[in-house]
Amino acid sequence: MKAEKQYIDIFTLYEETICRHSAEVLNTPRAKAFADFERIGFPTRKDEKFKYTDIARLFEPNYGLNLNRLDIPVNPYEVFKCDVPNMSTAQHFIVNDAFYNKASSAPSNNLPEGVIVGSLKESAKEKPQLIKQFYSQLASTADNAITAINTMFAQDGLFIYVPDNTFIEKPIQIINILRSDVDLMANRRILIVMGENAKAQLLLCDHAMDNVNFLATQVSEIYVGRGATLHLYELEETHTSSVRLANCYVRQEENSHVLLNGITLHNGTTRNTTQVTLGGAHAELGFYGMAIADKNQHVDNNTFIDHAAPECTSNELFKYVLDEHATGAFAGLVLVRPGAQHTNSQQTNRNLCATREAHMYTQPQLEIYADDVKCSHGATVGQLDENALFYMRTRGISKKEARLLMMFAFVNEVIDHIRMDALKDRLHLLVEKRFRGELNKCQGCAICK
């Protein structure tokens, strides 16, 4: 209980400080989250869902927490330069776990009337009833320690609201920047509400500025209204001393369309948990993920797609390329509830281990309680095809280049599901550089240096 005790003690001592620097709506669920955390503690590896990621060990180091919300000495508009050609986005920043809302010389984002992209804390003060309706409703603290500890400590984050019948033409880009001179724990909260028939594209990028140990918890709650469309892309490019523990909860209503695409290009330890509920008829979900890991990096994705309504479609594809001593894990459950007739669901996990020292653990699962459905699932784990390598070498291609070409072709399918052409083209280049061992570096960006 060593890991749990330090956070129990911190919350007990500093609860008043935490609440004073946040908003009432965010403070309301803290007591229950604390009680739940005391009761359940961190999961052990005996828990099937956390068999391959030792959560308690990740929380044992003595991380600092910025509970007094001291200013972080960084201007993200000066240090971050995104050089994705032809991609015009409405850029916003989160520094550690606080929305950066200071004035800048950046051009106006000119979002449509009624759209909110801003601080969760400030939005909770200005529109408490709106935030109260959605905050901490999907993300239950009763059975998940990461969600509980995030709810205990989160003081700010991101709020995006798109009103009914509103189309945001320009993609919204959120850059999460980890910045600290000492080892730091950041607890980031994200709340996204899409009104009926609303449409938006969102790109979330994770970067780490400093070579210290970071632990970032992130809890996202996403509501997609009737007939709404949301494309959400997440790109992780941190470093080997970073830990990312992210829980994402999505609820889709009737005739909604959601595209989720998560890519881990560079990291230390990553554990992503995603739960999607298809709660209205004719809802559609495209869920794609990719991880590239080497050295001793670790990537663990746990997904749950809940078909709770009839006539819904989900298509899930995750691919991993593991090199050197990297480890990967994927566990995906698709549940078709009674009455969810005419469900169409496909789940695929394909994995490539480039060395014998790399390890991949995969567990695709289907639970079906309806009799008129079309569902499939499968997983493969393999190494590079020696015959294909030999064939390419007979055509004058070096062994190293042949390996790179095969790995690039393997992950290409996930990238091709991206609907933003400029981002797709940039990711093709970043993936190639990643396989070549080069820095994922944007020209002029102080973060990537």
pLDDT 10s digits, 80-126? 665 555 568 888 999 999 999 875 444 456 789 999 999 999 999 99
Q: Answer whether residue 224 is part of any domain.
A: yes
Highest mean pLDDT among 198-207, 375-384, 400-409: 198-207
Determine the average pLDDT of the residues in 413-422.
91
Please give the helix or strand (H or E) that residue 325 lies within, else none: none
Q: Answer whether residue 394 is part of any domain.
A: no
Domain with 27 in it: 2-384
Q: Answer whether residue 430 is part of any domain.
A: no
CA-to-CA separations, 278 to 97, 112, 352, 418, in angstroms, rounded: 29, 28, 31, 21
pLDDT at site 86 = 57
pLDDT at site 105 = 42
Q: Answer whether residue 402 is part of any domain.
A: no
Q: Answer whether residue 54 is part of any domain.
A: yes
Please give the helix or strand (H or E) that residue 343 lies within, else none: none
pLDDT at site 437 = 78
Percent of all residues in the chain with a pLDDT value above 90, rounded to a whole number: 76
pLDDT at site 74 = 79
Determine the average pLDDT of the residues in 206-229.
96
pLDDT at site 443 = 45
Q: Answer whether residue 423 is part of any domain.
A: no
Q: Answer whether residue 21 is part of any domain.
A: yes
CA 54 to chain centre: 19
CA-to-CA separations, 4 to 56, 64, 80, 147, 187, in angstroms, rounded: 8, 15, 36, 14, 16
* 98-99 vs 90-95, strand pairing mode: antiparallel
> How many domains are contained in the chain?
1
Q: Answer whether residue 202 is part of any domain.
A: yes
Residue 406 predicted with pLDDT over 50: yes
pLDDT at site 426 = 87
Split at pLDDT 50, 70, 90, the class of 447 is very low
Determine the average pLDDT of the residues in 344-356.
94
Query: pLDDT tens-digit profile of 292-322?
Result: 999 999 999 999 999 999 999 999 999 999 9
Residue 363 predicted with pLDDT over 90: yes
Q: What's the whole-model pTM score?
A: 0.94
